[in-house]
Chains A and B, each alone.
Chain A
Amino acid sequence: MINKDFYNQDVISIQQFTREDLETLFEYADRAKKHKDKKLELLKDKVVMLAFFEPSTRTRFSFEVAAKRLGADVVGFSGEEGTSISKGENFTDTIRMLDSYSNLIVIRHKLEGAAKYASEIAENPVINAGDGKQHHPTQAMIDLYTIREIFGTIDELTYAVVGDLRYGRASTSFIYGLLIYNPKKLYLVSPPNLGAREEVISYLKEKGVAFEEIRNLEEIIDEIDVLYTIRLQKERFPDITEYEKAKGSYKITLDLLKNAKKGLKIMHPLPKLDEIDKEIDSTEYAAYFQQAKNGVPVRMALLSLIFGVEL
């Protein structure tokens, strides 16, 4: 559990953090924004390892840019090809090796728990950049930071998280992140077979937040302040027919937004395909470009705090 002192800590789940921790992080992110276009030399003797066992572009690049802006050297890989894992070395030994070459490992992996396990092996800090369907804590930090930037608060807003809540790690971490605050209400909108996993529902109940699982977004569109949508990730579906059934079921259109609450903001943590109509991009509803832009300053903030340097 992190409590304001991020120094040398692992970041595995957004659930480790308190409000106070996130406040500190967000202050650092505000400061990182002021250093835009500048290359700092705060981490000039550090090596950041980007161990992306599962390919990614956005998250990897934003970590890479964040680390480089702070002056760190960045090494790494994307996909298992070219790593010793593809030659049959086991994960445990690979992590040991990567740990010995660097000062911090950012890891993405297709299996749940991979980052936590890596953090138990590695002596240096480990940041989870996505483990299977489970956690994506730095994305949740960016999401919360963006909401705070737009609304000035994260509390007392009504949220809808829409789409595949079963296999979506960004949406799962976002829900966990909201539970650190006091949302007015949280709607979980998904097809029946893609509802939030049991451990997520169980955690919502434990935290005593007002939430409701529904199927139809139209019913509540006039009530919500933040609409958080995600792309269905085909690769995470164990059954392709499930994917085909769900595909296209929650498309956000201008027509749907006719009844939207004034000030509604739409968020989307991933490269979007066709979940959101293109015409929406140029409206006041679109918050996803701002959200994407916050990736670098938030990750710069996190790296600075973990390495214990003042931004």
Chain B
Amino acid sequence: MSEKSTLVVSKIKHGTVIDHIPAGKAMNILSVLGIRGEKGDRIAIIMNVESEKLGKKDIIKIEGKWLEPRDFDVISLIAPSATVNIVENFEVVKKYKVSLPDRVEGLLKCPNMTCITNERNESIKTKFKVLSRDPLKLQCEYCGTIIYKDDIVKLTNYLKK
């Protein structure tokens, strides 16, 4: 983390820091992770701070919560540049760079209403093949529908986990 951003919000004791989020995407990340702060989580959102790599970036700090690999996949859909730092006793003990898998399973809803994965009474896990990473382009393996980066936030059904 750069010096400048640490000036904005103090360090957390135990928890997760998601760094190098493209500017303006922090709220989307929280939304797809299903973190809304209503369970009393202490969350700091820092938006549009200077970044050497990205020009501007967002940072999220979550006290008392450790993200898991599955969470990294969903973050990678929105912020492929993100890094996840696990903090214990004010120290970063683990640092991960998220990466988009070749196939995204069970994280997104298919926008095609006549896709078998949208059939009520069934619990069919969606599968999307990554056709292109930049720009992000995915294809439903069941119905062939193509979705783009901009659709992804509204198609995430991660909250249902």
A, B bound: yes
Interface check B27, CB cutoff 8 A: no
Specify the chain B residue showing the minimal Cβ separation from A114. Answer: B116
Contact B122 A113 (CB under 8 A): no
Shortest beta-carbon distance from B119 to chain A in Å: 6
Contact A111 B146 (CB under 8 A): no
Given contacts A92-B122, A117-B124, contact A111 B116 (CB under 8 A): yes
Shortest beta-carbon distance from B145 to chain A in Å: 7
Contact B122 A112 (CB under 8 A): no
Contact A91 B119 (CB under 8 A): yes
Specify the chain B residue showing the minimal Cβ separation from A206. Answer: B131
The CA of A112 and the CA of B103, in the complex, are separated in Å by 19
Interface check B35, CB cutoff 8 A: no
Return chain B residues, CB-CB under 8 Å to A282: none
- Count A-B contacts at CB 8 Å: 52
Return chain B residues, CB-CB under 8 Å to A112: 112, 114-116, 142-144
**Interface residue count on the A side (C-beta < 8 Å):** 20
Select B144's contact among A109, A110, A114, A134, beta carbons within 8 Å: A134
The CA of A112 and the CA of B114, in the complex, are separated in Å by 6
- Segment of A35-43, A196-204, A210-218, A283-291 in the binding face: A196-204
Contact B122 A90 (CB under 8 A): yes
Contact A134 B121 (CB under 8 A): no
Return chain A residues, CB-CB under 8 Å to B26: none
Return chain A residues, CB-CB under 8 Å to B139: 199
Return chain A residues, CB-CB under 8 Å to B112: 112
The CA of A133 and the CA of B115, in the complex, are separated in Å by 10
**Interface residue count on the B side (C-beta < 8 Å):** 18
Q: Say what secondary structure dominates the interface of chain A.
A: mixed
Shortest beta-carbon distance from B115 to chain A in Å: 5
Q: Say what secondary structure dominates the interface of chain B.
A: loop
The CA of A91 and the CA of B115, in the complex, are separated in Å by 13
Contact B143 A132 (CB under 8 A): yes
Contact B122 A199 (CB under 8 A): no
Interface check A116, CB cutoff 8 A: yes
Return chain B residues, CB-CB under 8 Å to A88: 121
The CA of A170 and the CA of B91, in the complex, are separated in Å by 60
Given contacts A90-B122, A91-B119, A132-B114, contact A113 B143 (CB under 8 A): yes
Return chain A residues, CB-CB under 8 Å to B144: 112, 134, 197, 199
Contact A110 B114 (CB under 8 A): yes
Return chain B residues, CB-CB under 8 Å to A134: 143-144
Shortest beta-carbon distance from A92 to chain B in Å: 6
Contact B119 A111 (CB under 8 A): yes
Q: Which residues from 125 to 161 on chain B have a C-beta closer than 8 Å to any C-beta of chain A?
A: 131, 139-146
Contact A116 B141 (CB under 8 A): yes
Shortest beta-carbon distance from B138 to chain A in Å: 11
The CA of A199 and the CA of B122, in the complex, are separated in Å by 25
Interface check B117, CB cutoff 8 A: yes
The CA of A199 and the CA of B141, in the complex, are separated in Å by 11
Q: Which residues from 60 to 117 on chain B have a C-beta closer than 8 Å to any C-beta of chain A?
A: 112, 114-117
Residues on A facing B (Cβ under 8 Å): 88, 90-92, 109-114, 116-117, 131-134, 197-199, 202
Please name 24 pairs of A and B residues whose Cβ atoms are closer than 8 Å in the assembled complex, sorted by A.
Answer: A90-B121, A90-B122, A91-B116, A91-B121, A110-B114, A111-B114, A111-B119, A112-B112, A112-B114, A112-B115, A112-B116, A112-B144, A113-B117, A113-B140, A114-B116, A116-B141, A116-B142, A117-B116, A131-B116, A197-B144, A198-B145, A198-B146, A199-B145, A199-B146
Extra inter-chain contacts (12) besides given A110-B114, A112-B112, A117-B142, CB under 8 Å: A88-B121, A91-B116, A91-B119, A91-B122, A113-B115, A113-B116, A113-B117, A114-B116, A116-B116, A134-B143, A134-B144, A199-B139
